A and B are shown apart, each in its own frame.
Chain A
Amino acid sequence: MDKQKTNTSFKNTINTKKKMTAQETVAKAIFALAAVFAILSVVSIIIYLLIAGIPALKEIGIFNFLFGTTWSPSYDGPASEKFGILPMIVGSIIATFGALTIGGTLGILVAVFLVYFCPKKLKTALTQTISLLAGIPSVVYGYFGLKQIVPLLAKISPNNNGTGILAVSLVLGIMILPTVASLAKDALSSVSPTYYEGALALGMTKEQAVFRIMMPSAKSGIMTALGLGIGRAVGETMAVIMVAGNTVQFPKGLFEGFMTLTGNIVMDMSYAMGVHRSALVATGFVLLMFILCLNCVLYFIKNSQKIKDKANQKDKKNCHKYNFDTASSKAIVYANKTKLYTVIKYICFAATIIMLAAIAYLILFIVIKGIIAFGRVGVLNFLFGKSGAGYISLAPAFVSTGALILIALAIALPIGISAAIFLVEYSRKNSVFVQIIRLFTDTLSGIPSIVFGLFGVIVFNDFFGLNYSLLSGGLTLSIMILPTIVRSVEESLLAVPLMYREASFALGAGKLHTIAKIVLPCAIKGILTATILSIGRIVSESAALLLTAGSVKNMPASITSPGSSFAVMMYMFASEGMYMDETYATALVLLVLVVIINMLVFAIAPKGKEKKV
């Protein structure tokens, strides 16, 4: 070896090539394992729900279960029990349809306004409002519906009953609006601006270009937005049970009480046993199948658009033979048709106003009622005071929520980040494997929280014997937040320019070193954003926690004891009826938390693209 003249020598702390590759291989294997976790989760949710639901299906018979019209569990013995879920299936479908009519339409109109007609200065504010709307917990929506919308509807109702289809449709409509709006917005913004220029060059007005060219071009994206809206509406639980009236019967009119699949599960699950319990799990399985089918359809829509685009580019045979012989000699009139589109523009504007009015109403209601309530119960006393026998305070909720967040993040963050690293750094772009993992991650994120709750009950509470506990709740939450983390970390890793990696490799750095020193530090903002979004999801979650972590008002002794987060606490206060002030005060606390989380995301999220919640 020749002697070097340089006074600095470069040392290789990793000895041999073998050892280095061994380290890289182990790392890659770990990342791959994490990436497969999403697939494992989806598959095991399906399997466990099926296993736990089979006894009921056997006992009742699949046909009687799906198409039976009576649901009457009883303790007298199996002979008198009937478990037919058809009324609830119909209820869920009608409620979803109602929500889609209201929320879907408004959502798309708001998106169009936001992308094309909104003054630049208002854009950020409006986007933020939409993500705030998405972050508000469903219990808060439900309680708002119960206290404001239901009484209002009771006045116009022929039978003085405000609960029912119309109330559920309105509440669910507001809830799916932000989902539809933000996804439709993304779809519209990704349409090539050259189409717009092309349309204007033909003499179209801005409105015509938007409604005739841009919206049709974004069709598949808008369909996807509506599809995810449907998913959210079908799976929603807590808000629905507060305004549905909850009688198991076919919905007869707009103002008759009815029940949805989700509502039935959460209302009965805490006390159901034997066949009854199994029938509830089977109900969850039906719900899950519906969501999976919906996902398949969405996947198909997405891909068929791609295939169509490709085919259109290739297909030259598909030319029409036009018949020029019959050309008429009538004079051609170019009519001015601009008015119609101007009217549609004002409808978009109106939709946005309606949305803003709704959110203002909701927020003012919670803030005013909350402040008054805090005045009665005492701020410090209620927030941090004694809890337990005879005393009510939110101190246990602070502890429980904190514990749930820590447990869920401790599990989901490492797995999610590793999975994202595998997807971006170790696999070929758009390879079959990556696509499968993306599909399963998307599927996982579409599964309703009540289904996660059932899974948690079956696996963590019963199988692992954790019973109602913070640990069980945290584990369940960790699976729920995993897709959010994987997707947003993946996005931020993709945003790290390739040339940084090249430069690092060219200096002789290995893959692992490059990831640790260059890629992850660059993506830190994305990781933080993912973390905060996950915290937001945990704070607003209630249905899954009600089933897994229990519903108690006292301080949890350890992570193996039951505990209630803010949202669950609020649901308990609301459902017991005697804690009005406490309910409003907790709602205000939740609202403040959601606002803080939204502001943090806004401050941290990488500039140039707004996060969708």
Chain B
Amino acid sequence: MKVKEIEKFNLEETAINIQNANLYYGSFQALKDINMQIKKGEITAFIGPSGCGKSTLLKCLNRMNDLVENCKIEGKFEIGGRDIYAQGMMLQMLRKNVGMVFQKPNPFPMSVYDNITYAPRLYGIRDKSTLNEIVEKSLKGAAMWNELKDRLNKSALALSGGQQQRLCIARALSVDPQILLMDEPTSALDPISTGKIEELCSSLKENVTIVMVTHNMQQAARVSDKTGFFLLGELIEFDETENIFSNPQKEQTERYITGRFG
């Protein structure tokens, strides 16, 4: 069989372009006419109260909503100028290039090594030394090479929660993604682990564009370059993080960040 390489997205300055996006779960409209451009090489945070659609929007970006029944999506989602919901779009190509880290750490019940090489193997890499290289690179990328290099064959489930989450980041990095989606990556973790993951995000953004959903406003303020505030399925305000937190234009935004609801 002829081996065909999976291409990457051709990311311009605007990595992700969302236009007139609407999403329905059955008859419930979860996203209302969202328009936003996410810049390459930045960390973008989505904030807002529970149920406001921020996670839903995030999952649209690697089409994880495809798994949800009765989910209808309208509008345009472009990554590097390509419509990811177009007919010819390969899910594999999309998800290889747009990695995801989930709310709860979800390492596979295998060794650390097998967790990280799971995806590379999926993409046809069998060569041992290449795999080793990927493991080292990914773990270094997730700043846990020194912690884990001697226990690569230990079960991933034996790691602490924070380590598991960073391992999940390393696993996502193993296929060299261009964009990383993080769905409340620290909500299940203690403050120290949270700090480590925030540091990690800042160091990753050179190579990877990060989109992060967070419940924690301080986190958004600390880590992100841009912040979008969502309320009841609408994007209320989207601007530089500094502006959002110091000088919000909309009343709802101000009320939310000063803690009056949500």
Contacts and interface: CB of A to CB of B under 8 A. Distances in A.
Interface in A503-536: 503-510, 513, 517-518, 521-522
B223 interface: no
Contacts of B130: 8
Nearest to A501: B67
By size class, the interface of chain B is 35 or more
A509 B119 contact: yes
Given A13-B1, A506-B95, A522-B109, A1 B7 contact: yes
Nearest to B106: A499
Contacts of B107: 503
Given A8-B133, A11-B123, A11-B125, A503 B6 contact: no
B175 A11 contact: no
Given A503-B168, A506-B99, A508-B91, A13 B124 contact: yes
B94 interface: yes
A12 B10 contact: no
A508 B118 CA distance: 11
Contacts of A8: 120, 125, 130, 133-134, 176
Given A509-B119, A522-B109, A502 B64 contact: yes
Contact of B108 (A2, A10, A503, A505): A503
Given A12-B4, A12-B6, A522-B109, A507 B118 contact: yes
B150 interface: no
Interface string B1-39: 111111110100000000000000000000000000000
B131 to A, nearest CB: 9
Given A505-B95, A518-B108, A11 B6 contact: yes
A509 B122 contact: yes
Interface in B110-151: 110, 118-120, 122-125, 130, 133-134
A497 interface: yes
B5 A508 contact: no
A506 B109 contact: no
B85 to A, nearest CB: 14
A320 to B, nearest CB: 36
Given A11-B3, A507-B96, A517-B118, A2 B124 contact: no
Interface in B170-204: 171-172, 175-176
Contacts of A503: 102, 106-108, 168, 171
Given A12-B123, A507-B99, A500 B10 contact: no
A507 B88 contact: no
A6 interface: yes
A11 B176 contact: no
A239 B76 CA distance: 70
Contacts of B123: 10-13, 508
B104 A12 contact: no
B100 interface: yes
A302 interface: no
A10 B64 contact: no
Given A10-B125, A503-B108, A507-B95, A428 B69 contact: yes
Contacts of A317: none
Nearest to A1: B7
Q: Looking at A503, A507, A518, which has the most chain B CB atoms within 10 Å of its CB? A: A507
Contacts of A7: 133
Contact of A500 (B62, B108, B134): B108
A513 B121 CA distance: 11
B118 A504 contact: yes
Contacts of B109: 500, 522
Contacts of A513: 122
B94 A508 contact: yes
Q: Looking at A4, A509, A517, which has the most chain B CB atoms within 10 Å of its CB? A: A509
Given A10-B176, A12-B92, A507 B119 contact: yes
A78 B179 CA distance: 84
Q: Looking at B1, B8, B10, B93, which has the most chain A CB atoms within 10 Å of its CB? A: B8
Given A502-B106, A508-B175, A17 B96 contact: no
Contacts of A312: none
B90 A10 contact: no
A323 interface: no
A315 B94 CA distance: 49
A508 B106 contact: no
B64 A506 contact: yes
B168 A10 contact: no
A499 B96 contact: no
A497 B106 contact: yes
Nearest to B119: A507
B159 to A, nearest CB: 15
A504 B118 CA distance: 9
B207 to A, nearest CB: 9
A9 interface: yes
Given A2-B10, A502-B64, A503-B171, A12 B106 contact: no
Interface in B213-228: none
Contacts of B176: 6, 8, 10
A4 B99 contact: no
Given A8-B130, A10-B5, A505 B125 contact: no
B64 A505 contact: yes
A521 B109 CA distance: 9
A329 interface: no
Nearest to B110: A521
Contact of A10 (B1, B99, B171, B175): B175
Contacts of A15: 1-2, 4
Contact of B95 (A2, A12, A508, A517): A508
A2 B12 CA distance: 12
Contacts of A10: 5-6, 96, 120, 123-125, 175-176
Interface of B: 1-8, 10, 62, 64, 67, 69, 88, 90-96, 99-100, 102, 104, 106-110, 118-120, 122-125, 130, 133-134, 168, 171-172, 175-176
Given A13-B1, A15-B1, A17-B90, 18 more contacts: A9-B5, A10-B96, A10-B120, A10-B176, A11-B6, A12-B4, A12-B123, A15-B2, A15-B4, A499-B102, A500-B106, A503-B102, A506-B62, A507-B122, A508-B92, A509-B118, A510-B92, A517-B118
4 A-B pairs with the lowest CB-CB distances in the bound complex, closest first:
A508-B95, A499-B106, A10-B123, A506-B100
Interface of A: 1-2, 4, 6-13, 15, 17, 20, 428, 497, 499-500, 502-510, 513, 517-518, 521-522
